[in-house]
Chains A and B, each alone.
Chain A
Amino acid sequence: MMKRRALDLWVGVFVAIGLGALLFLALKVGNLGSFSAAKTYLVKANFDNIGGLKKRAPVKSAGVVVGRVEDIGFDTKTYEAEVTLSIDSRYQFPKDTSAKILTAGLLGEQYVGLSAGGDTAMLKNGDTLKLTQSAVVLENLISQFLFSKAADGSGSSSSGGNSNSSGNSSGKGSK
């Protein structure tokens, strides 16, 4: 049988390597510590249509990740999607900041883009963003395009095309 000391030593080395591997996975592979430990505040935003937005999607401002989508709900009174954003408290935004749902690349994942406004008061925990712009739904965009093409073809005036597709098209977003 092995000496007791050597055995303890080997088990210690084993456990140390195991925990080291776990730490490597957490820090280098999973990038823990850049966000989840930081303090955040919650802000709500209502959208007509969130497209394919998912929980934990990034919230970006000027391309920098400043938070995550915390929760997605549905408001039964206004029939709008209610998206809760958790934003790192290092980043303060003015009260009239607007939120858009954007797509990374042509077919990439969707994220929330924030553009800062000019208000002097800052957003607080629990505030709601007033200015929002929905996700671009490709089908609506195409049907709008086809409608305006058809309208052009039949020789009517240019204003005929854009009145049809209701609600969640790309142009009509802020409210």
Chain B
Amino acid sequence: MTAVLDFLENLGARAIAVVDRLGFATRFLLLTLRNSGMCFRRFSLVLREIYYAGVLSLIIILVSGLFVGMVLGLQGYDTLERYGSSSALGVLVALSLVRELGPVVSGLLFASRAGSAITAEIGLMKATEQLAAMEMMAVDPIARVIAPRFWAGVISMPLLAAMFSAMGVFGGYLVGVRLIGVDAGSFWSQMQAAVDFREDILNGVIKSLVFGIAVTWIAVFEGYDAPPTAEGVSGATTRTVVTSSLSILALDFILTALMFRGA
């Protein structure tokens, strides 16, 4: 009997902890949004963070995009060739990149490249009491530290995803047309006939925007919420990568179900 009670008690405590944390995170997001005015008046703050979150992620995004596109070209050709429709290679490469792989893979890379850095930086600022010092000087750490990082991530993510997709299409072109010898005309024309701007490209951009919001939100929250110890910061960094990767995949399923169902 007591075992059952203990179990229920445990379950209840866990559920309350989850809801509590979720509520804290939501209030933190609202607070960040409300205090975002300053970082748009002093846009150089956001620019600096775009440099760290976006520009420094350029290499990994471009190189991975190229290789993902090249692999898609090889694998897609191998399968399509069996049905004698290797001219549809461009459609396969472009649709899978623009709809799914572009936003999702660049979101995962962004979470591990930039999200973890944001969490570690904010967590360390908290551990070394820089945030507390700012408050002592009547500088709001949310407006000065959190909001610029949040907006930088939200702005960078769609751009990175677009670069990933474009680079992937180029990689697919390199392998499919240049290496294997699919006809360049049918590669591009079938792609252009099948890819719709609103249905495919714009939905991909919306996806990457949602992922950008989710990843940076989780990153700044975990950093701000990290226990101010070395162990706490490392734990928060790990949690950022795990939580944001999982939420990207879950959100991707929900968004795909909403966007491409039935059409």
Contact = CB atoms under 8 A, between A and B. Distances in A.
A175 interface: no
A28 B51 contact: no
A18 interface: yes
B251 interface: no
B50 interface: yes
B51 A10 contact: yes
A74 interface: no
A2 interface: yes
B163 A30 contact: no
A36 interface: yes
A30 B201 contact: yes
Given A14-B58, A18-B162, A21-B163, A31 B51 contact: no
A87 B94 CA distance: 27
A29 B159 contact: no
B188 interface: yes
Contacts of A15: 50, 159
A17 interface: yes
A165 B241 CA distance: 62
Interface string A1-41: 01010011011011101111110111011111000100000
Contacts of B169: 24-25, 28-29
A43 to B, nearest CB: 22
A29 B51 contact: no
B192 A14 contact: no
Contacts of B200: 30
Nearest to B166: A21
Contact of B159 (A4, A19, A30): A19
**Chain B CB within 10 Å — which of A11, A22, A25 has the most?**
A25
A21 B165 contact: yes
B191 interface: yes
Contacts of A149: none
A24 B48 contact: no
A24 B193 contact: no
A124 interface: no
Contacts of A172: none
14 contacts: A10-B51, A11-B47, A11-B51, A15-B50, A17-B163, A21-B167, A22-B205, A25-B169, A25-B201, A26-B197, A28-B188, A30-B192, A31-B197, A32-B197
